[in-house]
Every structure is written in structure tokens, then in C-alpha cells.
Chain A
């Protein structure tokens, strides 16, 4: 048979696309590789966060966040969706100016945020280091346990008729046809490539999507209170430089009482083993902001590879030079946040509709540009 859509990759982006497209009545086949669970999705942090380092990123993240809020009530409790909000923490007075700027920027699109001064920050997060000048609270941000959310999306797509072909590494994509190394041939009108760092099976994407290594540390269950996802404002500076290794303070409270501590960004490493020197830098940074974590015990350290693009924006839409082959990849650290928005844009493009936000900034046409 010929499917309406073949989706390559069953991470959260592929799962969201499968769910969206099958709910629109299209026949969908999801093709996933040999790993039991999509590696970038599995390794991620599950922070649903509005980010504003470009207008296009701002539009996609805020649109996606709204979609997550609508979706939240349908998620099973094991998905641990929690609308805990984000605190963007300023380290000094200079960064408080950035808090101000961010406040007005969010207000422009009608997102309510709150500026916390030293005292209100202290009462919001009593375990942060004393004397921090303040923070921006983004109450609409959430956290989710993304592996469960991903499987839920896939299961719902299957219930709506989608088929899932596992353990099928794709060897070739041409117009209307996907071929696997096992010799399976899947014909489809439309082909969506949402395979994270594995999206490089198109030479065009291979040129542009590069793995960016990250580390995360999770602790045992603790009694240390963390009420929000805590992120240093300096994250904006450290996370978006494109060529040097960087670490930034980032703590996520899990419903279990565990603390998930990040983050690091490294280019040019394809070694999946944990680099304890980078981890040490991460932990030092975390303790500068959050000294109460010092005695918490780390039970696991892991790494993952984010699919990063040169301009920090994902590729969503038809790939130039192909007929109805679409990219839905290159989300770097925002794949969980923007999965639902990405799926909506892909569905709109396939079905020839207008989208809620302009699609053009994410188009892969900019790869050659």
C-alpha cells in the first residue's frame, strides 16, 4: 500500500507528527531505527520553555507551549506534566537588566511574566544562594516526563490507525519511497524526516544538522525543595554560542523528589561516554547558584546528542530539491518544547493550510543560503 505519510524517527517530534497527522485522517507509517527508544528524546530534560533569543524561536516555543497546555489534560499521570514555571535567575545587577528586557519582550506577545526581586526570589526558592538580585518568573512553562509522553503520542497514533515499523534503519529516502537496510520498501505520498541527529540520511540535512553533546546528572530522591525549573540567565549566553564548550546552571524538580541537573553543550564530540571534567564544571556551576544540592547524591550521569543547526532554529518543512520530503529536525535542546508546534506546522503544510504562526523562518530552504 502507499501511505499518505511516512515518518522517519519515533522520538517526540516524530511521535507528535504521527499523532497529529493520523488524527487528521491521514494514513501514517512511523519507521524507527534499531534503538529501543529514540536517543535524543530519551536523554532530554523535558522542560517546556518559551525561549526568546530570536523572534522565530519565540513564536514557535510560545505556540508550542500553548499546545502542550491543551494536551496536558489528556496525558496519563505517569507523564508527570507539571506546570511549575521557569525562573530565569540573574546573577548580578547587569543581568537584572536582561530580566527587564525579557519581561517586556514576553509582554509583547501577551505572555504574563513576573519580575522577582531579591526578597521575593528568596521566598519563591529558599534553597537558592542568598543574595541573588532577582529573577524572571515565567509561570506558563512546564516540565514533563517526555518518554511517557512520547509513547502516549505513539499509542494514540496507533489507535487512530498509524502503523509503527521498529528496528528498521532507513538506508534511502527518495521522492515517495523509503527503503530500509533490511530491504523493506515503504511507499508514501509525503515523507517526514524527524530522526534527530540521524536525520543526516539526506545529504542536505547532513550538511547542516550537527550533534551537540550534552550531559545530565540525576540525584536520588531528596528533601530539598525546588519549586520551579531553575535556569541561570547566563544560559542564554552560554547555550547559544555555537563553537565552544559551555556549561550553565539548570535544575529541574522531578515529581519523585529527584533533582535533574544540567547542563552542558559541546560540539565536535561523538563520544557518548560521560566526561567527568565537564560534569565537574556543571556541578560547580550548579552549586554556585544552588548550594543546597551539595549533599544530594548523584545516582546517574548520562549524555545525549542534540541535533543542532548553524542558526539555532529547527528545519521544519519541505526540503528543496525533493518532492514532498519534509524535515522536522534540528531542534537542538528544544525538541520536547516544540514537538507539538512542529507537528502542527508539518500537518498544515501537508494539508495545504495556513498555520497559526508563519512557517517561513523554519523552512529548510535556508540551508544553502
Chain B
């Protein structure tokens, strides 16, 4: 379990330890605009437990994934701001 996971956020490579959720990883990197709201505001997680859908991002090409429910995986590509 001591391995380091390498993944990308919007094309830039980052590292995380196993068990880190995508939402936590994005917050640790300082991402504030997980998604852009209908009226153009940046949005980030509110509920942290899969309820609010405000933390949704695109992961490996799949859009609207709730990042708080998804652990980071090695090689994962995350796109924000959708």
C-alpha cells in the first residue's frame, strides 16, 4: 500500500497516495472549479458524500463522475471545469 499513484488533472501529472478520493486529490492541488455552474460560477464539493453532484468531473472520458466517490487510480486522467 506504500505505492504512489500517478494521475493527471487537466493534462498535468500529479501524485497521490492510495485511498485518496479524486475530490480530495483535486482539493489538495488547489483546484476550486471542479465544474462551472449553469450561470458560470465555479463549483467545488459541498457534501463530500455523493449527494450534491457539485464535485462532478470527467474521469477517463466519462463525464459527470462524482469525484468524492471515486478513489484515485494510477494513470487516471481527470478533467475539471466541465
Please say whether the chains A and B touch (CB closer than 8 A).
yes
A269 at the B interface (CB under 8 A): no
A54 nearest CB across to chain B (Å): 42
How many A-B residue contacts, CB cutoff 8 Å? 6
When distances are taken between beta carbons in the complex, the residues of chain A under 8 Å from B63 are 295, 297
Measured between alpha carbons, how far is A221 from B35 in the docked complex, in Å?
Answer: 13
**Chain A: residues with CB nearer than 8 A to chain B?**
220-221, 256, 295, 297
Task: State A220–B56 Cα separation when bound (angstroms).
Answer: 13
Chain A residues whose CB sits within 8 angstroms of the CB of B38 once the complex forms: 221, 256
6 pairs, CB–CB < 8 Å, chain A vs chain B: A220-B64, A221-B38, A256-B38, A295-B63, A297-B63, A297-B64
Task: Report the 6 A-B pairs with minimum CB-CB distance, sorted nearest first.
Answer: A297-B64, A220-B64, A297-B63, A221-B38, A295-B63, A256-B38
Report B63-76 CB contacts with A as 1/0, cut-off 8 Å: 11000000000000
User: Using an 8 Å CB-CB cutoff, how does the interface string of B36-78 with A read, 1 for contact, 0 for none?
Assistant: 0010000000000000000000000001100000000000000
- In the bound complex, residues from chain B placing their C-beta under 8 Å from that of A297 are 63-64
- For B56, the closest partner residue in chain A by CB is A220
Residues of B contacting A221 in the complex (Cβ-Cβ under 8 angstroms): 38
The chain B residue with its CB closest to the CB of A257 is B38
Q: Which residue of B lies closest to A222 (CB)?
A: B63
How far is A295 from B61 in the complex, measured between Cα atoms in Å? 10
Q: In the complex, what residues of A have CB within 8 A of residue B64's CB?
A: 220, 297
Name B63's closest neighbour in chain A (CB-CB).
Answer: A297
Which residue of chain B has the shortest Cβ distance to A256 in the bound complex? B38
